[in-house]
Structure 1
Amino acid sequence: MYNSRLRQMRFGTFSYFCEMRYFIEFSYKGTNYSGWQRQKNAVSVQQLLDEALTLIIRENIETVGSSRTDTGVHAEQQYAHFDIANEIKDTEQLTYRLNSRLPFDIAVHRIFKVDNTAHSRFDATHRRYEYRIIKRKNPFLSDESHIFHKPLDIEKMNEAAALLLVYKNFESFSKIHTHVNNFLCDITAAGWFEKDGILIFNIKANRFLRGMVRALVGTLLEVGVGKRSIKDFEKIIQAQDRSKAGAQAPAQGLFLVEVGYPEY
């Protein structure tokens, strides 16, 4: 349960549960981690963040993340929430202490109190991802981008990407054997652009399926090299069959760059 550590407070014959909820905004380079979510036999970002919070606050802290990122995937903006019994008197000092405790590739930006009903995952209005590609080997970008040498038809890739705004069901791009209620996503932006020599795929939606962005990129690259047509891409969407789409693009090029919320 997300709120499993509620403290019970008693007044006369009545009792109720009370905890305070905080959001934490942070970023990380995912190269050295098995993703955001805790794993039994590998180190995750969530594990290190929970351990640091628990040590400093001296309560058993279990964070709830806004989005799940896979092994090797990065986050420029990620949120999580956690509950504690006592109010944090100085969130800036806690931010400083966390950054001193966490490894260099995880950075906490701010911590702020929210209403107890606020939820980092369920209240998020959108997520935005970028996938970054370089054309030649670069030792300074090897962990944060995918090298793709073949010439690409960006115009056709953008024509295919525009189709993503027309459809809602993206089962063809979801990992198989994943437990979800449905494969529906409301994509509001999708397209390719180049910046400082890096080819970037930008996509924004209310939610994403597991492996969805990397599968989309892998399939759109096949459109870009002429292996598939724009019509082929549309048929893949319509098929609702993962075996019809292309292979996943490598993890190191994927970034969670933005998570949106209503004003609390």
Structure 2
Amino acid sequence: MVMIGKWAAALGAVVALGGALSPHVANAKAPGQIILTPQSEEALVIIKTDWWQPAPSMHSAFKLLLSTYVDAEARLSSGPFSGTALFEAKQKNFLDGYLMVPVKPGRWVVRSYSQQDSWALCFNAASLQFEAKPGQVVYLGRFDALTHRQQLTRQAIASGNTSIRGGGFVDYFDLPQGPIFAPVDAPQIAAVQAMLARRAPGVSAPVQAVTFTPATFGTGSTLYGTRRCGGYFPASGKGKADKS
């Protein structure tokens, strides 16, 4: 049984969570070993964020999942074995407070924030999309993981799902609050470039500030008909959040 533990330092009596869903992802090399030049076929996406001690038996504090996206149809284009990229907040994955993940070029959307492989905030109703081009580093800005940690905790408590047995998973859908990133400015871009020069010298591609635009997407379902964020049968989110 997975249970939510106390988060005394940040929320006093409020209960906290800790790790996340593990889909197939476009990520392999240690961050300091990544190679990306202006001639590369892939792109690199970077965020800055917080780390905290994960729950017992968990390896990451949280996971932030990206999916490929079709803007004209407001739908995810990722499948069970492709089209996703995962930021895992493991201590070994951080370089000076930054997380990075290689991605295929194209349009991406922030799909979900999850903890302990059991609870997730699905951003289907209010997300952000962006373009990643070949041979380019895209800096998304500082991701406010602590606020989403609190948000997920409140959702779990309000729904009564503070413990989950037998590998279960709970998605929270149709949320008015999407992923929170701080705006990116020129000094931040310079800081990312300096970090890469120190810690990931194989990355020589230019760093670009992200251009976010709003996005929604359908949630889909599992093979058994259970609603799931990025399920096997995704629907369009055009017009309004998918309620199926």
* TM-score, L = length of structure 1: 0.27
Q: Which has the higher contact order (CA 8 A, sep 6+)?
A: 2
Higher normalized helix content (fraction of residues): 1
* TM-score, L = length of structure 2: 0.29
